[in-house]
Every structure is written in C-alpha cells, then in structure tokens.
Amino acid sequence: MSNSIKLAILGLGTVGTGVINLINDNLNELKRRSGRDIIITEVGTRRQRDDIDTNIMQNSDLMAIAASDNVDIVIEVIGGTTLAKDVIMQAIKNGKHVVTANKALLAEHGNEIFAFAEENNVHVAYEAAVAGGIPIIKVMREALAANKIDWLAGIINGTGNFIMTEMRDKGRPFADVLSEAQELGYAEADPTFDVEGIDAAHKLALLASIAFGIPLQFDKVYCEGITGITLQDVNYAEELGYRIKHLGFAVRRDSENDSDAGVELRVHPTLIPQDALLANVNGVKNAVLVNSHPLGQTLYCGDGAGAGATASAVMADVMDLVRVLGSKDRDDQSNTGHHVPHLAFIPDQLSDTPILRADQMVTGYYLRVHAYDSPGVLADITRILSDAGINIDAILQKPAHKVGQVPVIILTLPVVESQMNLAIEKIEKLETITDKVVRIRLDELA
C-alpha cells in the first residue's frame, strides 16, 4: 500500500487557496486521522503563483491534470458548468475520485456525473457544495440514514440572510444593504444568483434528492427572490410576531388523492415565528432544519461560505476518500463498495415521486392589501377569502399612509396555492383596492 495520497487542486481562488492553507496548517492531524501522507502534487491555475510550494506542479492544462498518473483525488473549485463538467468527467474517466464545491454543476448535471462515476467505479464527493462548512450532506446521507425525512427548511444563502438581517435590525432598505454586501464581498457584482434565489435552488435540489431518494431536478424548483421585500413588510411581520427569512423548502406531501401527492421544492421569502430556531440565525450564517421520523427536528448551523468553512468541507470529503482508497489497497474491493451512494439511496432505488407544481404547494400567507378607507372593504375581502376556502388567522389594519388609503394585513392558515391565486385575483378586481396585493408565504415550521 502506498503511504501517500496525491491531490490535485483545480482553481486557486478563495477556496483552492484555503484548501492549501488548511493542509499546511493541519498536516499532522490529517496524517494521524488517516494514517496516510496527504500531499498536493499538482494545481491548476491560469498564471504561475510565486506563493505555491515549488514541489507542487502548476499547470494551466486542467484536462491534463485530471488524467495525470501523479494524482489520486481531483479537487474541483473552479466553478461554472462547462469547463468544470469536462474536467470532472475526464477525471472520472481516468479513475480519479473527485471532490467538488460546485452546486450549480451538480444541480444541473449531477444525475449524469454520478451515473458516470458509478460506471467507472469512483466517487464524486460534494459536502462543500451545500452550506459551506456545515456537514449537512454527511448528516443526511449517514447520520439520518435510518430516518424517514418528512421535510427540511434551510437558510442556504448567506447573502440573502445578511440582507434580511440588516433590514430587520437596522431598518435599512434592500438596495442599501445589497450595496454593502457587495462591498464586503458577500455578494457578486451581479448578485442575481443570490438575491433571486437561484443559488439556494441549486443547493435545495441536492438536499431534496438526498432527503427523499429522488433524481436531481433543479429545473422543477420554484424560485422567488427577495428583491420585492420592503421595510414595511419586515416591520409588519415583526409586529405580528414573525420574521421574514429567505428559505428553501423540500416537503414530502402524502395524500389519498394521488394527484396531490409528491414533493414540494420551493425557495422564497417566508414569515416564520420569531421564536423559531431558524428565525434567530442571522448575518451570513447558514442553517438547515430537518424534520425526520423518529428523530424529530434537528438544526445544523454554521458558516455557509468563506475560505475556512468551505476548505473544511472539501477536506472532510478528501478524508473520506482517503479511507476508501485505503480499503481498496487492503482488500482489493471496489472503491465505491465502502462508500455511501452519491444521493444516499442505491441508484436503482431512486423513486419517480412527482415534483408538485407551484399552484399545488400548500403554505400559509401574509397578505398586504391597500384599500380606500371606506365602509365594507374589509367585509368584501374576508368574504372572498372565505368563499375560496381560505381561513384567516389574524387581521391587522394600519393607519392610513396615503390620504384616504389604508393597508390591511391578513395572515391565513395553510391553503393550496391555486385557491390563493383565485382569491387574490378577485380581491384585486374590487373597486376599493388601490394596488396589487402583496403576498409572502408563511410557515410555522411545525
């Protein structure tokens, strides 16, 4: 058995450099835990770096590195869904295990990548792709393996959480906080993936597949961002005992009517109770709440991004793969025979459970309705909701913010989205309504 495991790191940005630093800082601990020398033999970089150990080969040809005989494990941290995919497929073809932090790539092409890895008897590990340093992938694939997961809800984008926290705590408008997030490096120059929920949707697709044993289906995730959230709504939510968080939900819906059964995959702003665990996860932190049977609710919280957090997750995967390689050397069994399946379930046991459409989703609602201050307005609104089978949980009428116009805040109990769509359409047709109805989903997380 060779005593050394050889790594190649493709990409020397924040995460790639963080992995190098972690290995250098904790080299002795890594060897004590694995019984092997873990060394970096090659790095993929577009330009030569003077701060890299001269014993490490620097190469701009990533495909060549992925095929190198001097590499056991390829760590892909270049991002994107084109070159990264080609490099990973090349590594798999050449019998290399792969570690990646690339949630977009796996969410969109993971089914193909994982199948190819199975065919080639190697493993693709991706703890760092979801929630940074929080070991949520390992927890769901291994620690909760005996549980039936009913639902999960997560703050899985730190940028969005930072923005919502600042708006609530300091009364700052969305645009102002977004600008600061960009200055601090929390948000990209083009923040679309963060503020429109696309980044969270990539991560949710992965979590849902692991939770329910279904193929990756990113294209079926309902996605709504936070750009429309106003300070007015943040303050009204607080007054009613709720906080607004940008959450991803994966929910198993069982029903006697087969057409209503399936899985909800949704990312959107959500009112949750102020005393809920997720309501008190602030700043750039991430957290995932998992409800499973028989364990019940468990919360996993920590840094969701950054060099240290992501490098920690990358190296956790490396350590798992080091043990896989060690078991192969000892007994010549297959590499994947000692490892948990990519999506937690045996590949031929993944189910075809349908993903429910947006209009089939079931949630409570916060509605903000602007109306003329005239008799009978509230009665008309409540009648429409009642006729649609929607139960009201609370009503709050605020002082007029424009002459003769009042905002009415309504909280509803859970209802099928299609019913709410019809009700809102009728409310907006009332002559007394002065603007579009603002809706934000509500969940008690119970």
Q: Annotated active-site positions, please?
A: 203
Q: What is the DSSP letter of 46?
A: S
Q: Which of 308, 269, 250 is nearest to 161 (CA)?
A: 269
C-alpha distances in angstroms, 264 versus 241, 248, 360, 361, 372?
A: 26, 10, 8, 6, 37
C-alpha distances in angstroms, 284 versus 206, 281, 394, 443?
A: 21, 9, 31, 22
Q: What is the DSSP letter of 276?
A: S
For residues 193 and 314, what is the distance between their CA atoms, to the nearest angstrom?
22
CB 88 within 8 A of CB 124: yes
Cβ neighbors of 237 (< 8 A, separation 6 or more) are 243, 244, 271, 366, 440
What is the number of alpha carbons within 13 Å of residue 131 lying toward its C-beta?
26
User: What are 107's two structure tokens?
Assistant: 């969410």
Look at the block and give the residue holding tokens 């963080």.
Answer: 18
Q: Give the gyration radius of the chain's Cα atoms.
A: 24
For residues 284 and 186, what is the distance between their CA atoms, to the nearest angstrom?
8
User: What are 88's two structure tokens?
Assistant: 């990973």
For residues 308 and 181, what is the distance between their CA atoms, to the nearest angstrom?
19
CB 21 within 8 A of CB 309: no
User: What are 189's two structure tokens?
Assistant: 């120059």
End-to-end CA distance of the chain: 51
In this structure, what is the dihedral angle of CA atoms 281, 282, 286, 291, given to the nearest 10 degrees?
A: 20
Dihedral angle sign, alpha carbons of residues 142, 145, 147, 151: positive
- CA geometry: angle at 341 spanning 339 and 344, to 5°? 120
What are 26-34's contacts with CB under 8 Å, separation 24+? 30/315, 30/319, 33/319, 34/5, 34/319, 34/322, 34/323, 34/326
